[in-house]
Structures are given as C-alpha cells and as structure tokens.
Amino acid sequence: MNRKITRGAIGAALLAMLAACGNTGSEGSISGMFATALKQSAARMRGEEAKVAPAPDPSAMAAEALRVNPGPLILVGLERMGTTQVLAMTGQNAGQRTYMTKNEQALIMRDGMLVGTRGLGNDLSVAEMSGSSALIRSGRSGQARRVMRYWTGDGLERPLSLDCTIGPGAKAGTIVESCQNGPLNIQNNYIVQGGRVTVSRQWIGPNLGYVTIQELRP
C-alpha cells in the first residue's frame, strides 16, 4: 500500500479523534445537518427528492494532493463552515509558514500551531502564545497566557487575552490546552511529534470557531 495514502488515512482518523475530544457534535456538523434538512424539506414541498452532494473524502483528498504537489501540505477542516481543504505552503519567514488555498484563503503556522488567518473574514491577525507553545511542544503541563488579536470592521486590531492550563488529554498521546476569559471557555487538542504539532484541533476565534489541521507533508 502507498505509504503516503496510508498516512493520509491515519491522519484523518486522528483528526476525528481530536474532534471527539471537543464538544459533542461540532457546530460544523450541526449546521451541516440543519442545511441538509432544509434542502430535503424544500424538495418534498416540490414533490421531489433532495439531491445532497456527498461530503469529500479527506483521505482521497490528501492522497491526490500529495501526488500532484511536492511541497509542504496541510489538510484543514473548518468545522463551522463545514469545509475540508488541502492548503499548500506558499511562504516561510522567521519560523512562520503560510499555507494557502487557490482562492487565497490562508493559515499562518509556527511549529504546527496556528498564529493567524487571512481571507476567511473575521480573521485572526496574530496569536501571541510563546508560553503555551513551549509547554505543548515539549509535552509538559503548566499555566500560560495567550493573546489573540482580531481585525474588526472598523479596521482596528482588538486583543483577546486567555488564561490557559496545559496538560495530557484523556486520549493517549494528546495534549489539551484549556483556556478561559470570563464566561468564554475553549479547548485546543494537539498531537506532537519531534517538538512539532502534527495533528490538532484549534480555536480560531468567536466567529470562525474551531479548525482541525493535519500535517500531510512537513
């Protein structure tokens, strides 16, 4: 069996495992089910069956991307939007990598941790989390603070500070980062290999929700 395809299949399973570590029934899944129900209801009113396109197979998507693109790749799932895409690295600067889709939606990563987004709307300008990153990538438990800055409609950058606790997750091999700011509680889940996050479920922000990220090719 092709090793690259096997890795894609394993990674898809790990992404599913990390998603299960979060809230039961992701917002993306719920909205997808709701949209499907609406389509079926409208079709019944027209006296015809709804034709719902099957969801893309992440393993097949990963295998095809690995076949045609020789560079670094990540598989990204935006839960709230219900989308899964492969992003290719388009630039690297001072330890940060920019991964982009064909329509120029981008994730900015450092050692597998999300530090920014572009082109998604309500973008994360930058995430400052050196304390969290060091603990997560070394597999150590501890306390840290992260500051996440967002672009707003008035063109200004607004900070969101979060107090975080890092430690081992319920699933073997996972590391959990639980963060809080007043009533806001989020949970990020990571799998780390060689000091780099290779599979994760990370919170982008209050509007975009969670993203799952798998490294297909480093």
Domains of the chain: residue spans and CATH: 3-217 (2.40.360.10)
Region 115-132 average pLDDT: 95
Q: Judge contact between 188 and 34, C-beta under 8 A.
A: no
- pLDDT one-digit tens code per residue, 97-122: 999 998 999 999 999 999 999 999 99
Q: Mean per-residue pLDDT for 14-40?
A: 45
DSSP strand pairing (113-118 vs 124-128): unpaired
Alpha helices in 22-129 (DSSP H): 27-46, 58-68
pLDDT digits 0-9 by tens, 133-169: 999 999 999 999 999 999 887 888 999 999 999 999 9
More confident of the two residues 106 and 17 = 106
CB atoms within 10 A of CB 181: 14
* Both structure tokens of 119: 């082109």
Q: Helix 58-68 crosses helix 3-21 at what angle (to 10 degrees)?
A: 140
For the segment 171-196, the average pLDDT, to the nearest whole number, is: 96
Note the pLDDT tens digit of each residue in 47-100: 554 455 566 788 898 899 999 999 999 999 999 999 999 999 999 999 999 999
* DSSP string across 102-140: TT--EEEEETTEEEEEESSSS-EEEEE-HHHHHHHHHT-
